[in-house]
Amino acid sequence: MEDQNQIDRNKENKKRASSGSLLQQNQWSLLDSDLPTDPMDVDRETKKRASSDSSLQWSQWQLLDSILPTGGFAHSFGLEAAIQARIVSGPEDLQTFIIHLLENTGSLLLPFVYSATVSPDSETRRRLDKILDAMLTNEVSRKASIAQGSALMRVGASVYSEIPSLKSMREACLSTGVVSFHHAPLFGVICGLLGLDSTTSQRAYMFITMRDVISAATRLNLVGPLGAAVLQHQIGPVAEAILNQWKDRPVGEACQTVALLDIVQGCHGYLFSRLFCS
């Protein structure tokens, strides 16, 4: 028993010594001549970091701005086909449709956004792109994803000039003649490069999906502009609950939870008269 007590005491002493060493290193760093000891220097350093963070926030907000020409408003996410199939005919049906769409987005696409955000490099994007391309058996949604992703890559490479990897990523794909950028993985890559954490990037993806489908509903005369704003606010807590259910999942767990929406969207190409691309 005494031997065991002695071992425990030795471990505790080593732990304290290690902690003390780290504390001492921190104390020494305060005496480092390279540190800005002048209050004005400290203030300039603080303002420089704040300015950098502020500039980054402007870029992050711009990614979610509806004025960014990524082609999102050209797609109804199957809503137009659902209206013509008499699945959606009023505000109540619209709310149900949007919630189901967010459930599909959370279960199928958030794993790709998450994986790309935590590892925003070209190799990861290509791998995720191939997996998602194989999983989207619905040709309409697959083409819509590629169209939006390609537009986002073109805009991102032009707008975010401070991130040269985006431009080099696009040029590398153009040089091979194979241009296929699915929207969800690329959105995650850009979020990661802009400094967004994985939870915020997934929440942002849910937000732009909800924003775009409600915008489509407004143009399809299902709801007015004010009603659309009220509806978006009402669905917000539901979207957050769906996010918490599906966030931070690996790509291997990606799945569709509302198959009917996928079937309806696949019928979009057969519509005799249509306003949207999907």
pLDDT tens per residue, range 164-221: 888 888 887 777 766 678 999 999 999 999 989 999 999 999 999 999 999 999 999 9
Average pLDDT on 224-240 reads 93
- State the Cα–Cα distance between residues 169 and 266, nearest whole angstrom: 31
pLDDT tens per residue, range 93-149: 999 999 999 999 999 999 999 999 998 888 888 899 999 999 988 888 888 898 898
- State the Cα–Cα distance between residues 182 and 151, nearest whole angstrom: 10
Mean pLDDT taken over the chain = 80
- 3-state SS, residue 141: helix
Region at 269 (left for phi over 0; alpha for psi -120 to 50; beta for the rest) = alpha
**Residue 52, pLDDT score:** 53
Domains and CATH numbers, the chain: 76-267 (1.10.4190)
Neighbours of 92 (CB within 10 A): 9
